[in-house]
Amino acid sequence: MKDVSQDQRYVGDLSRSAELRPDVCVKISGLTKEFHMGDRSIAAIDGLDLEVKDGEFLCIVGPSGCGKTTLIRTIAGLETQTSGTIWVKKPAGGRPLTAMVFQTDSIFPWMTVEDNVGYGLRMQGVKKSQRDAKVESLLKITGLEKFGKSYPHQLSGGMRQRVNVARAFAADPEILLMDEPFGLLDEQNRMILQRELMEIWRGSRKTTLFITHSVDEAILLGDRILVMTAHPGRVKEIIDIDIPRPRDLIALRGDQKFISLYKQVWELLSEEVLRSRTQGVLRQ
């Protein structure tokens, strides 16, 4: 069993670090994460190396239980790695390091939509006038401008997930971490939210790690796709998505480049899904 106490996570000015190039936002080296339950231990991640560039949209795919959620939780500092090192670029001006968007919305039920979206800014001590301007612009992009005074229980699931996305962008974190955020939405809502997400992201070019089950979605959104191995998670391959933006899923489906990327990603992923089926790892 390895020593869990060695926390090697550095948040700092990476541009001055000899370890890193200036265009890197996250660098992970030899990351291993074991969970201990009584005298049993599970290696969720085993020797993962990764560099995420500043402003990159990186999609992550891999079989259930391969360690995707654990990876982004460790980057966020919500888990401590067993060994390995994570360097994360320090945000300027008191901004938060990360914001997370999960599959189920995590907005506050007792706050109106606009208070939910402005929550992170309020916590950062941003003045009301500045906060209001930012909230208004995000509500507009996400089609929620008429619902600023509504409460979450008055909204549909798709609209609540929009509030979640708007809130994460409003907080202006250095890195946005999204864990299958559209996984529970119906197809129409998913396509609308994907489009809105791309519109906000293109305006901010925020470094984003986006976990998805959908190969379509990964190609539509990503600059690159990280395919993880079956449990325990490592990098199987990283694929560049060399398709100009803005991208449109309907048009892409007939595009030769899309079809061959889809095949490439799906072949890599299905090898790992088949491997994971023999391992009996059930957790999502």
Ligand X SMILES: Nc1ncnc2c1ncn2[C@@H]1O[C@H](COP(=O)(O)OP(=O)(O)O)[C@@H](O)[C@H]1O
| Binding positions for Mg ion, rule: CB under 5 A | 69, 284
Tally the C-alpha atoms within 13 A of residue 175's C-alpha that lie toward its C-beta: 25
Structure tokens at 277: 């089926």
* Residue with smaller CB distance to ligand X, 119 or 182: 182
Q: What is the DSSP string of 159-203?
A: HHHHHHHHHHHHT--SEEEEESTTTTS-HHHHHHHHHHHHHHHHH
Find the part of the chain contacting ligand X (CB under 6 A) among 22-30, 37-45, 162-170, 269-277.
37-45
Query: Site residues for ligand X, window 206-265 (CB under 6 A)?
Result: 231
**x/- contact string, 54-93, with ligand X (CB under 6 A)?**
--------x-xxxxxxx-----------------------
- Residue 212's binding partner, choosing from ligand X, Mg ion, none, with beta-carbon cut-off 5 to 8 A by kind? none
Task: Report the helix count and the strand count for the chain, using DSSP H and E.
Answer: 9, 10
For residue 233, give the DSSP letter: B
* Residue with smaller CB distance to ligand X, 35 or 151: 35
**x/- contact string, 153-182, with ligand X (CB under 6 A)?**
------------------------------
Of 203, 205, 228, 282, which Cα lies nearest the Cα of 72? 228
* Residue with smaller CB distance to ligand X, 172 or 180: 180
Rg from Cα positions in the chain: 19
DSSP, collapsed to helix, strand or coil, labels residue 88 as: strand
Number of residues that bind ligand X (CB under 6 A): 16
Q: Smallest distance from the beta carbon of 206 to ligand X, in angstroms?
A: 22
Which residues make up the interface to ligand X (CB under 6 A)? 35, 37, 42, 44, 62, 64-70, 231, 281, 283-284
